[in-house]
Amino acid sequence: KVVIVSYEEWNRKIQDNFEKLFLVSEDPSDSNEKHPNLVHKRGIYKDSYGASSPWCDYQLRPNFTIAIVVATELFTTEKAWRALEITEKKLLGPLGMKTLDPDDMVYCGIYDNDLDNDNTMLLE
């Protein structure tokens, strides 16, 4: 089945649904949250929506900051500032941005590309 959607309609759908689907609300009772039991941080924007591993949708990553620059109209100013404050506190380091929250269960502060495994490194 082929569905034709105009750019205008596609734009409207994105604007109507972006924050509803990508913002992790600060309100724990928000009915838009598909997996409230997986929420690790509130007030952030999801990196993905509908990931094959649902917990991945709730990881704090810096990619939404690019979306803020490119499509500011999708973000509520106050919510965007709150998410940026959280991101600054958790991800900004002296040499740049971490790609994952150090509080995340799969965060690995040391990465060695020479290892043939799942990005873990045994420290001696």
Q: What does each of the 124 residues of the chain score in pLDDT, given as a tens digit?
A: 999 999 999 999 999 999 999 999 999 998 888 899 999 899 999 999 999 999 999 999 999 999 999 999 999 999 999 999 999 999 999 999 999 999 998 888 876 766 665 555 444 4
| pLDDT attached to residue 122 | 47
Bridge partners of 101, per DSSP, are none
Domain carrying residue 32 = 1-123
| pLDDT attached to residue 15 | 93
- How many domains does the chain divide into? 1
Q: What is the dihedral of CA 101, 57, 54, 114, to 10 degrees?
A: -50
Bridge partners of 92, per DSSP, are 97
| pLDDT attached to residue 118 | 58
51 phi-psi bin (left φ>0, alpha ψ -120 to 50, beta other): beta
Q: Which two tokens stand for residue 65?
A: 């900051």
Bridge partners of 96, per DSSP, are 93
- pTM, rounded to two decimals: 0.80
| pLDDT attached to residue 123 | 46
Between CA 29 and CA 103 the distance in angstroms is: 23
